[in-house]
Structure 1
Amino acid sequence: MSIDPTASADEQLAFELLRRTDYGRVATSMRALPFLAAARHIVVGGQILLRLHRGYGYHHACVGSVVAYGADNLDVATARQGGQWTVQCIGLCEAVEPSNAELELFGPAPHYADGELFDPVYLRIEPQVTKVHTLTAARDRGLQHAR
């Protein structure tokens, strides 16, 4: 998967980190209350494509709204080796029909969601704001700054 040549260094890092994990959380508001929903994601060019279960209805609150999407490696055991990171992207969300190549990148969908047959719905976010935060151990930090 190629990196978008027009993306800033921060966006490129964010997209690279997002490619290291499969799931994250989309955040928006529903009936004036904030909510988070787990979603499968892929990065295509400078956009993030999401797959959610249609049966939850969360996509109705996301489509046409500004949403935040976040993913991290905070609970991954290997994060201690290379540090921990979080990525947050904010942008307008829209419904999409992914191409066959994009569907292959998503991989197989779950069979069930909360006991119901999984019915996928696909969304796209074109990030307007992208943030990456990293956490490293003090020993790692000392090694990074020793010259």
Structure 2
Amino acid sequence: MPIDEELAVELLGRTDHGRLAASLRAMPFLALARHIVVDGRVLLRLHRGCGYHRACLGSVVAYGTDNLASAGPGESVWSVQIVGRCEAVEPTESQRELFGPAPRFMDGEPFDPVHLSIEPQFSTVHSADDAMERQFRRTL
């Protein structure tokens, strides 16, 4: 895996939630999702009730997250995006545990989880300075 993709996956693993970007009938949308990183793949859990998963299955999607709200004083802020083909997945019991408890409701409806998987084919990492990227390049 190239260094940029390794860095992107490493950073994704440091957050719990992100935004899934795709299109539905040529109209773009963003959907909130919970994610975990397993063997270089990003597994997503989102609410089935919105129907966004149907637009994603078999399609190329983007997924991103950042630390803009959680960076401490003096800590570099970053954002990461991956792009890859989205597939349905049935997580193992241990993977379900990594997701943690599901919310009880989403948009006023009982939360009905659906799980997707993205294998990153392309990734971008942006940071306020390059100190963070230099640090990760040394540790990867």
The TM-score normalised by the length of structure 1 is 0.85
Equivalence for 1:87: 80
Tell me the SS of whatever aligns to 1:82.
coil
Equivalence for 1:120: 113
Equivalence for 1:68: 62
Tell me the SS of whatever aligns to 2:80.
strand
Aligned equivalent of 1:51, options 45, 52, 61: 45
Tell me the CA shift for residue 60 of structure 1. Answer: 0.4
Aligned equivalent of 1:8, options 2, 7, 12: 2
Tell me the CA shift for residue 101 of structure 1. Answer: 1.1
The one-character-per-residue Cα deviations of 1:23-49 (angstroms, maximum 9, x if unpaired) are: 000001001101100100000111100
- Asked whether the equivalents of residues 19 and 63 of structure 2 are also in contact (C-alpha less than 8 Å), the reply is yes
The TM-score normalised by the length of structure 2 is 0.89
Give the greater-gyration-radius structure (CA): 1
- Unaligned segments of structure 1, at least 5 residues: 1-6
Equivalence for 2:138: none
Name segments (4+ residues, structure 1) moved above 4 Å.
none
Equivalent-residue separation in structure 2 for 1:58 and 1:35 (angstroms): 9
Tell me the CA shift for residue 131 of structure 1. Answer: 1.0
Equivalent-residue separation in structure 2 for 1:77 and 1:10 (angstroms): 21
Tell me the CA shift for residue 11 of structure 1. Answer: 1.5
- Unaligned segments of structure 2, at least 5 residues: 136-140
Tell me the CA shift for residue 9 of structure 1. Answer: 1.5
Equivalent-residue separation in structure 1 for 2:98 and 2:34 (angstroms): 11
Give the structure, 1 or 2, with the largest relative contact order (CA under 8 Å, sep 6 or more): 2
Tell me the SS of whatever aligns to 1:21.
coil
Identity %: 62
Equivalence for 1:105: 98
1:131 has 2:136 as partner: no
The one-character-per-residue Cα deviations of 1:45-75 (angstroms, maximum 9, x if unpaired) are: 1110000000010000000100000000112
